Amino acid sequence: MKRNANPLYIQVKNQIKQYIADSNLVAGDILPSESCLAERYNVSRVTVRMAIKQLQKEQLVYKVKGSGTYIKELNHGKLIGFTEEVKKWGKKVDSEVLDFKVIKADEKVSDYLKVPKKDLCYYIERVRKINGESAVLEICYMPVDLFEDLSIDILEKSKYSYIEDHKKLTIDKSCQKIIPTNPNKLVQLVLGLEKESPILQVDSQAFLQNQRVFEYTIHYYHPKLYNYHIVVER
């Protein structure tokens, strides 16, 4: 382990995060034992234990007594963007825009966006990739009047960063509906799935602090690359 300004256990924590990313570990996968990690990074088991405690605090792993340390599922109990969530793991996030155009809101879209029928809105098809693999297909609708400067270049980065940092708008909440389904032809093609592969479809309606709806999005999640996890607290 190289010397740097960070405490040794923080260095080990970062090394373990890099190992998780490089090994493409997903929710439910087990980490090597403390003794294996201690040998790998040439540190004591006490240091490894402290590093793992930090990963637990960051909600990245969990321990099962007598079994080991496991990768935790991505947690959507708090509303944060896909880019933020995946980067917590040290994994590379890319976005590819498949379609981007302005349309007139039909009855369904106007109902979800809370805008008059035939109002102008963006229609966006975007695939989100984790370490180069297509993990999520998004079909998104956004009102043009809120985001007149929206572009493909922006959508290839973080949409939430654009909304909060560039537009200076405060995101409040998202109302979501989870639907088990079989992938249609577009989802099969983009995510590389068979017709019979069951997936999760998540329809979300997202609100700004003033309760204005700023997007209606349909997400299709690759079942092996992305786990959708919700914690409901009383």
Query: How much is the pLDDT for 48?
Result: 94
Among candidate residues 152, 56, 43, 142, the one with its CA nearest the CA of residue 95: 152
- The yes-or-no verdict on residue 129 having pLDDT over 80 is yes
Query: How much is the pLDDT for 174?
Result: 86
For the chain, the domains span 8-71, 82-221
**In terms of DSSP H, where are the helices of 27-166?**
34-41, 45-57, 82-87, 107-113, 152-155, 159-161
Is-contact 139 125, C-beta < 8 A?
yes
Task: Provide the percentage of residues in the chain whose pLDDT is more than 90.
Answer: 56
Q: Name, of 22-26, 61-65, 114-118, 176-180, the range with top average pLDDT.
A: 114-118
Query: What Rg value do the Cα atoms of the chain yield, rounded?
Result: 20
4-8, 136-140, 189-193: segment of lowest average pLDDT: 4-8
Query: How much is the pLDDT for 225?
Result: 79
Q: Which CATH architecture has domain 8-71?
A: Orthogonal Bundle (1.10)
Is-contact 76 35, C-beta < 8 A?
no
pTM for this one? Answer: 0.66
Query: How much is the pLDDT for 214?
Result: 96
> What is the CATH number that goes with domain 82-221?
3.40.1410.10
Query: How much is the pLDDT for 24?
Result: 67
Q: Are strands 199-208 and 61-64 parallel, antiparallel or unpaired?
A: unpaired
Sign, Cα dihedral of 25, 31, 32, 38? positive
Query: How much is the pLDDT for 60?
Result: 83
Among candidate residues 128, 125, 80, the one with its CA nearest the CA of residue 225: 128
What are the pLDDT digits (tens) for 197-222?
A: 889 899 999 999 999 999 999 999 99
